[in-house]
Structures are given as C-alpha cells and as structure tokens.
Amino acid sequence: MSRDFAKKGRAPARRTSSASSATPPWLWFVAGLVLGAFTASLYFIKNPVSAPTPKEEPKPKVTENKTPKPRFDFYKLLQESETIVPASETINDEKPAQEESTEYILQVGSFPRSEDADKLRAQLILLNLDANIEKVEIRKGEVWHRVVVGPFNNQNALTTARSQLVKNEYNALVLKRAKTK
C-alpha cells in the first residue's frame, strides 16, 4: 500500500527553556574587547616601551665598509715638484723696455656680422667704457668683427674695466699685444 506523506502531521517545534537563557553574541564580543584591553594594559605595564626623546635620536646601524680606501699619491708628488715663486719682484724706478711696448685690451665679443658687433659696442659705451670694433680676417675671405675695450697701459685701469664688465654680466678675454703707434 502506498502511503501519503503530504498529509502526515508534523510534530510542533520544541522550545526548550535553555534557549531563552542563552547569552547574546554581542555580549561575548564586548566581553572579549574588555578582556583584551585589560591584558594589553597589564603587558605594557610590565614591559614599558621607551620612546626616544626629541633630543635623542635613534642611532643608525653602522655597517662596516670592507672596500679599501683609495690612495691619493698626487699630494706627495705635488709637494715634491713644488716651485717657490717670489711674492713680488724687486721694484725698480725704471720700467722694462718690454712693458713699455705692450698694452692690454679686453675682448668682449667677436661676431661675423658687423651689426651684432655694433650693438654690443653701443651697450659698452653706455657703461662708460672705451669700446672699439676691430675687423680681423680669420681665413681667406672670412672677416670677424671683434669688440674690444681699451687699450690699457696699467693694471689698475684694466682691473677696473674688467670688474665693470663682470658686474654687468659680460665675459671678457684679456689680451696682451704690442702697442700701436
């Protein structure tokens, strides 16, 4: 015979009295947090952590470098080949013949176009410097225009003009040449 399982009566769900007295899960969570905090505070009381004071910095670990230090022998070589130059030469009232026949000039620029040289010359004249343009043939047919300041007969005038150029951010090349008569 076949049985009808659909109409079978089911037993009612049992409720036990122990389920109503069970502790809720959130209470276990809070209790765990309190117990963990208490344990951590006991640990830090027994083993205090010392923080570095602002004056004391933690010392970095020193690693030993095993590579040999380089040797510089040129210091000894330079001392051995040292040449003593006298601080100043003897001062004579007479000027040497070579010094009288030489003069110094400052070359401030050199340009292939005369217009560029003329612009620089105008700027130097505005600085109250005696600037001139010299035409020089470098190779066959190639002419360059040099902007020069001077000539200067003594070192003081040369130094003054050069410091004026440096102060105004011009680079100058000191040239020594025979006097033009």
**Mean pLDDT taken over the chain:** 78
Ranking 2-16, 103-117, 151-165 by mean pLDDT, the lowest is 2-16
* H or E element, residue 146: strand 142-152
pTM of the model: 0.43
Task: Give the pLDDT confidence of 104-118 residue by residue, as tens digits.
Answer: 888 888 888 889 889
**Domain extent listing, the chain:** 100-178
* Predicted local confidence at residue 74, as pLDDT: 67
Closest CA to 108 of 154, 60, 148, 57: 148
Task: Give the pLDDT confidence of 26-51 residue by residue, as tens digits.
Answer: 999 999 999 999 999 999 898 887 76
Tell me the one-letter amino acid at 8: K
Query: Which CATH class name applies to 100-178?
Result: alpha beta
Tell me the one-letter amino acid at 76: K
Confidence class of residue 137 from pLDDT cuts 50, 70 and 90? confident
Distance CA 129, CA 105 (A): 12
Distance CA 160, CA 172 (A): 12
